[in-house]
Amino acid sequence: MASKTPGKTERAAKRDSSDGKPVLLSGGNPQIAKGYGDAPVKAYIAAMPDWKKDLGRRLDALIVDAVPNVCKAIKWNSPFYGMENDVWFLSFHCFTKYVKVTFFRGASLNPVPPGKSKYPEVRYLDIHEGQLDEGQFSAWVRQASRLPGERM
C-alpha cells in the first residue's frame, strides 16, 4: 500500500498543553499538524470525538479497500485521500452533528452526491450517526479515484 507521498514528512498532532490530547476546534474537529502518510491520518481519526471516531475508522478502511494504493495526508485539519503528486479526490471534516465528506470532482460521480457546493465540481456528503451507506460510499470512492483530482 503506497499511502505516503514520496519526499514528505509525517508530523504529530498538535497537543493541548493541559492534558496532552489533540485540541478540538469548533464542531469537534481535531487540530492535527499537516503531514503526509498513514500516521497523521490515524492521529486525526484517534482524536475524533464520540461516534465520529468509529465512523472515521470505517471511512478510512473503506477508502483503502476501494483504492489500495491511496495516498493520505492531513491538510487544513482534515484527512485527504488521493493519488501520487499531491492530487486529491476526497477529504472529510468533523462538524458538531455530522462528518462532511468532500468529493473534489463529485459532480462527475454517478449518482451525484447530494450536497451542493459553491464550486461546480465539488459535491458533499454529510454523514450523521448511523447513516453511512457503505456500498454507495465505496462506489463513489472508486469512481472519484479514477477522475482527475485536485492539486493542493
Highest mean pLDDT among 2-6, 48-52, 84-88 belongs to: 48-52
**Residue-wise burial string across 50-68, b where 16 or more C-beta atoms lie within 10 A, e elsewhere:** eebbebbeebbebbbebbe
Q: Residue 41's pLDDT is what?
A: 97
Per-residue pLDDT of 43-71, as tens digits, reads 999 999 999 999 999 999 999 999 999 99
CATH of the domain at 114: 3.90.1150.200
At residue 152 the predicted structure's pLDDT band, cuts being 50, 70 and 90, is confident
Task: Quote the pTM value.
Answer: 0.85
What are the DSSP E strand ranges found in the chain? 35-36, 71-75, 78-83, 87-94, 99-103, 115-116, 123-127, 150-151
Is residue 11 domain-resident? no
pLDDT above 90: percentage of residues in the chain: 76
Is residue 5 domain-resident? no
Residue reference for cell 450523521: 128
Is residue 67 domain-resident? yes
C-alpha distances in angstroms, 103 versus 19, 109, 149?
Answer: 35, 9, 9
Is residue 8 domain-resident? no
At residue 28 the predicted structure's pLDDT band, cuts being 50, 70 and 90, is confident
Average pLDDT over residues 27-32: 86
Q: Residue 18's pLDDT is what?
A: 52
Is residue 44 domain-resident? yes
Is residue 21 domain-resident? no
Is residue 72 domain-resident? yes
- Full residue range of the structural domain in which residue 120 is found: 26-151
Is residue 137 domain-resident? yes
Q: How far apart are CA 52 and CA 38, in angstroms?
A: 18
Domains in the chain, number: 1
